[in-house]
Chains A and B, each alone.
Chain A
């Protein structure tokens, strides 16, 4: 049957159904089903979030100053970004102003997350969609060296280096224990890189694996550990003591030197390894133009990285803020997280009940009552699903909408909004990439565009790390050591009843938390997260979400091998634990408790 969706996509579910579950190399649990036509082109796509944890009901009644620790455990991959969103939310509700140093240190931590998260995503979660590990075995090490040296000054590029690595890889494959590379799609005709590019990429896969653990040490200095560093409502928990008694137990010159070294090395790795690899790989896939989905029409960003402490307006935010709809790049709309009409969540196709099932709710009024039920056209049983019925409820994810529109969020959305806003920090790198690869602007709206925007943003974040490091040093040199404002720390100073909202741009996209504090305790807490925007199911009107839209019209080389599906889904960097945790404060605890 062919259906036209209100947001302009044509769906045909008559062809062969293909199920991918589990989708791997993501955070959390996701299932994708598609229908392909007689030419193996995807004509219908269904995204199902397959986990739910219920963190918001757990938050009810707790101390708002603890909320960052709970919400940080929404996700250990984008670790820190929920915590940062949470402390901003509580500070908004309680009208707490944070010191300049705290704003700078928080920005440094958020940017360190960007660099780490984007790097690990590209090499360890996404690269194997483009890179054929087995093909690397037939590469000529000398030609690989020439390739590497033609695109970068990165020193590890000699023929001997690549020969050693190839030998190591060969022995690994010959051992018969392929481990992580077992049952991969090696040899699939959708792989387009020559053997030498594959060998170079495998080398950098391993180098990036060893290097990424360095980046997070920035979190360890300021937050004590990573994953899950510590945060503080009103500032940051790490005091600064540069030259006085006890300085060795605080942020001192030795700690700052460590941070500086990591920033320098990160910048070097991103500029000399990540970006050149990305460009090299992209140059072999220029003809693979699929996966644009919603990006050419509807994109959303809240903005992040405030230049000025406590100023979260668009003019203070270094990452762009705004919404674009219907593909009109000439108009960037403002976004108001407090407006009950703008951001709403729908549950028509989700495993939750609403009082009015088809009406949207703003997060401050959010209700979630879990209700697991498969549709009449699903196949299998409740606990052994063979095929989902997307005509009914089919996901643990809700469908958020901005003024009724399904939106894509993430690095590509941020770059499109920055481009449309004529912000040179975003527009110029995009134009350079398009010129270097000889591609039109429309090439941005694709799976590769998403992957490229993430790489550009990683370079941007490494530069901004340096900027905020210098800002911190300058402020300290000017005598400002303050890292926390404790004037409103004690609960007796708080209003009886108050609401707040806070936001960040998580590496994966727009992230908002909404809180209601009553009698010093959390009355209601709601989070609307990037993967909810991107991976959500259809809404009441039948609009499809970003994942589903992006998969449409993609040809599959071998339908039994879901390489192209993985490619496009991975380009969003899915985070399912984030997207599916939502439950209202008055959600009922389910009745069928079993002790096995």
Chain B
């Protein structure tokens, strides 16, 4: 019985009241954007499920994903690891090392085969027989594939696991490889970003624990709920973009007034992520709010899509291949509208403009 305790059992054992539990479920529902009606469903799920074992592996990476994960404010990461999941292997946080750590991994593989979630931070290098990343004397790629075999589902944390990230930037000397290219027979949920937002990470895990299924994914394997829209679509500086008001240099009048950073190289228009809505570190800010353009860290190959301070129109992206901000900056809204509308790649922009025009005409 003890080893099959549900979330709610664990909550109760740990002295958490029914009321706090319900409140937790409501907050979880809200943070997932599901609305209050889902709270009872979350509560029901948590009352009947055992804590799911999670194996967290680290390949070539910088540990920014683990660091981001522990920054989660809702849920708190202490509640995550004590009450919601059983983090049976994490080289960053676990007490055991060496043989005892490897034993923990093997025990989970044996006792929970087909039941655990595999969370992967970083990626395997394929050059030099994989020995650019060694764990327990063996190449990381072997550990990864061995643990993937028994996983129920795989989470690719961050841009390393999802896209390759910085060590895979040209010329990728170690042949660092995103995990979906070496794990082909398991569902993989990609959570790109360098790192991903803490509450996005815990939100995805909570969704899976609560509903017992992986969240709806887009065609690139990312959860639609967090990666379905561009940062530009929900940016609070968007009205300045539409009005042709841009920062032209660091710390100029436009910068101080919070104008659009498009001309400073902002990648918000081509980056799918939740930064402008969920924001960072309990909603305190996000890059654009703090004066620096988005560098597009959740997009594939963003390191090779620079320089970061070159505006998008000058570099080879589908967005604004024909028009650029200088034309927008003319300030004539009608001209801008036509220029952008003419370009199909900017269809979402057009929709937003129609809405704002409609609002004006009302």
Chain A residue numbers with a CB within 8 Å of B61 are 76, 577
> In the complex, A219 Cα to B72 Cα: how many Å?
15
> In the complex, A334 Cα to B195 Cα: how many Å?
38
Closest chain A residue to B171 by CB distance?
A: A589
Chain A residue numbers with a CB within 8 Å of B78 are 206, 209-210
Chain A residue numbers with a CB within 8 Å of B352 are none
Instruction: Check: A201 CB closer than 8 A to any chain B CB.
Output: no
> In the complex, A37 Cα to B172 Cα: how many Å?
44
Instruction: Check: A250 CB closer than 8 A to any chain B CB.
Output: yes
> In the complex, A56 Cα to B181 Cα: how many Å?
25
Check A221–B10 contact: CB distance below 8 A: no
Check B133–A380 contact: CB distance below 8 A: no
Other-chain contact of B173, A58, A222, A227, A384 (Cβ < 8 Å):
A58
Which residues, 58 to 116 on B, are CB-close (under 8 Å) to A?
58, 60-68, 70-73, 76-78, 81-82, 85-88, 90-104, 107
Instruction: Check: A20 CB closer than 8 A to any chain B CB.
Output: yes
Other-chain contact of B256, A79, A250, A383 (Cβ < 8 Å):
A250
Q: Tell me whether A224 and B70 are in contact in the complex, defined as CB-CB below 8 angstroms, given that A19-B98, A232-B250 are known contacts.
A: no
Instruction: Check: A217 CB closer than 8 A to any chain B CB.
Output: yes
Other-chain contact of B82, A73, A172, A385 (Cβ < 8 Å):
A172
Instruction: Check: A63 CB closer than 8 A to any chain B CB.
Output: yes
- Shortest C-beta distance, B316 to chain A (Å), equals 16
| A interface residues, how many (CB within 8 angstroms) | 117
In the complex, per-residue mask of A223-265: 1 if CB is within 8 Å of any chain B CB, else 0: 1111111101011011111001110111000000010000000
Check B91–A24 contact: CB distance below 8 A: yes
Q: Tell me whether A237 and B291 are in contact in the complex, defined as CB-CB below 8 angstroms, given that A62-B306, A382-B129, A482-B251 are known contacts.
A: yes
Instruction: Check: A75 CB closer than 8 A to any chain B CB.
Output: yes
> In the complex, A435 Cα to B355 Cα: how many Å?
71
Which secondary structure dominates chain A's binding surface?
loop
Instruction: Check: B49 CB closer than 8 A to any chain A CB.
Output: no
Other-chain contact of B182, A22, A66, A212, A596 (Cβ < 8 Å):
A596
Other-chain contact of B67, A227, A241, A248 (Cβ < 8 Å):
A227
Chain B residue numbers with a CB within 8 Å of A593 are 126-127, 175
Instruction: Check: A138 CB closer than 8 A to any chain B CB.
Output: no
Q: Tell me whether A79 and B286 are in contact in the complex, defined as CB-CB below 8 angstroms, given that A50-B133, A230-B292 are known contacts.
A: no
Chain A residue numbers with a CB within 8 Å of B146 are none
Which residues, 243 to 301 on B, are CB-close (under 8 Å) to A?
249-251, 255-259, 275, 280-282, 284-292, 295, 297
Instruction: Name 9 A/B residue pairs within 8 A (Cβ), A-sorted.
Output: A25-B94, A55-B167, A164-B15, A180-B81, A182-B88, A228-B194, A232-B292, A248-B258, A590-B173
> In the complex, A163 Cα to B86 Cα: how many Å?
23
> In the complex, A483 Cα to B182 Cα: how many Å?
46
Instruction: Check: A370 CB closer than 8 A to any chain B CB.
Output: yes
Check B287–A226 contact: CB distance below 8 A: no
Instruction: Check: A462 CB closer than 8 A to any chain B CB.
Output: no
Instruction: Check: B349 CB closer than 8 A to any chain A CB.
Output: no
Which residues, 95 to 144 on A, are CB-close (under 8 Å) to B?
120, 124-125, 128, 133
In the complex, per-residue mask of B187-199: 1 if CB is within 8 Å of any chain A CB, else 0: 0000000110110
Instruction: Check: A171 CB closer than 8 A to any chain B CB.
Output: yes
Chain A residue numbers with a CB within 8 Å of B65 are 76
Check B174–A54 contact: CB distance below 8 A: yes
Instruction: Check: B24 CB closer than 8 A to any chain A CB.
Output: no
Other-chain contact of A249, B68, B171, B237, B275 (Cβ < 8 Å):
B237
Q: Tell me whether A592 and B127 are in contact in the complex, defined as CB-CB below 8 angstroms, given that A184-B96, A486-B249 are known contacts.
A: yes
B-to-A contact residues, CB < 8 Å: 2-3, 5, 10, 13-15, 51, 53, 58, 60-68, 70-73, 76-78, 81-82, 85-88, 90-104, 107, 125-142, 165-167, 169-176, 182, 194-195, 197-198, 236-237, 249-251, 255-259, 275, 280-282, 284-292, 295, 297, 303, 306-309
Q: Tell me whether A249 and B289 are in contact in the complex, defined as CB-CB below 8 angstroms, given that A53-B176, A55-B166, A128-B95 are known contacts.
A: yes
In the complex, per-residue mask of A363-386: 1 if CB is within 8 Å of any chain B CB, else 0: 000000010100000001011111
> In the complex, A238 Cα to B166 Cα: how many Å?
25
Check B2–A213 contact: CB distance below 8 A: no
Instruction: Check: A489 CB closer than 8 A to any chain B CB.
Output: yes
Q: Tell me whether A221 and B127 are in contact in the complex, defined as CB-CB below 8 angstroms, given that A22-B98, A177-B3, A484-B250 are known contacts.
A: no
Chain A residue numbers with a CB within 8 Å of B104 are 182-183
- Shortest C-beta distance, B243 to chain A (Å), equals 13
Check B167–A225 contact: CB distance below 8 A: no
Chain B residue numbers with a CB within 8 Å of A227 are 64, 67-68, 71, 195
Check A62–B307 contact: CB distance below 8 A: yes
Closest chain B residue to A75 by CB distance?
A: B62
14 other contacts beyond A29-B135, A177-B88, A183-B96, with CB at 8 A cut-off? A26-B92, A58-B303, A77-B63, A179-B82, A182-B107, A183-B100, A209-B77, A210-B76, A220-B290, A224-B285, A248-B258, A483-B251, A577-B61, A577-B63
Check A51–B2 contact: CB distance below 8 A: no
Which residues, 461 to 519 on A, are CB-close (under 8 Å) to B?
481-484, 486, 489
Q: Tell me whether A246 and B257 are in contact in the complex, defined as CB-CB below 8 angstroms, given that A20-B97, A24-B92, A384-B138 are known contacts.
A: yes
Which residues, 157 to 203 on A, are CB-close (under 8 Å) to B?
164, 167-168, 171-172, 174-185
Q: When A and B form their complex, what is the total count of cross-chain residue pairs whose Cβ atoms lie within 8 Å?
A: 362
Check B249–A57 contact: CB distance below 8 A: no
Instruction: Check: A566 CB closer than 8 A to any chain B CB.
Output: yes
Check A168–B90 contact: CB distance below 8 A: no
The 8 A-B pairs with the shortest beta carbon distances in the complex, nearest first, are: A249-B258, A76-B64, A246-B257, A184-B95, A171-B13, A224-B287, A224-B290, A230-B292
Closest chain B residue to A82 by CB distance?
A: B62
Closest chain B residue to A68 by CB distance?
A: B308
Instruction: Check: A294 CB closer than 8 A to any chain B CB.
Output: no
> In the complex, A351 Cα to B135 Cα: how many Å?
17
- Shortest C-beta distance, A519 to chain B (Å), equals 14
Other-chain contact of A69, B171, B237, B291, B295 (Cβ < 8 Å):
B295
> In the complex, A225 Cα to B290 Cα: how many Å?
9
> In the complex, A311 Cα to B128 Cα: how many Å?
44
Instruction: Check: A587 CB closer than 8 A to any chain B CB.
Output: yes
- Shortest C-beta distance, A420 to chain B (Å), equals 34
> In the complex, A205 Cα to B300 Cα: how many Å?
37
Chain A residue numbers with a CB within 8 Å of B139 are 383
Chain A residue numbers with a CB within 8 Å of B100 are 183-185, 561
Chain B residue numbers with a CB within 8 Å of A27 are 62-63, 92
Q: Tell me whether A74 and B62 are in contact in the complex, defined as CB-CB below 8 angstroms, given that A53-B167, A593-B175 are known contacts.
A: yes
Q: Tell me whether A372 and B128 are in contact in the complex, defined as CB-CB below 8 angstroms, given that A25-B92, A213-B70 are known contacts.
A: yes
> In the complex, A228 Cα to B198 Cα: how many Å?
13
> In the complex, A31 Cα to B91 Cα: how many Å?
13
Check B280–A24 contact: CB distance below 8 A: no
Instruction: Check: A23 CB closer than 8 A to any chain B CB.
Output: yes
- Shortest C-beta distance, B357 to chain A (Å), equals 25
Chain B residue numbers with a CB within 8 Å of A167 are 14-15
> In the complex, A51 Cα to B303 Cα: how many Å?
21
Q: Tell me whether A592 and B128 are in contact in the complex, defined as CB-CB below 8 angstroms, given that A57-B173, A176-B3, A237-B292 are known contacts.
A: yes
Check B251–A235 contact: CB distance below 8 A: yes
Most B-side CB within 10 Å, residue of A29, A133, A232, A583: A29
Which residues, 569 to 596 on A, are CB-close (under 8 Å) to B?
577, 583, 587, 589-590, 592-596
Check A225–B77 contact: CB distance below 8 A: no
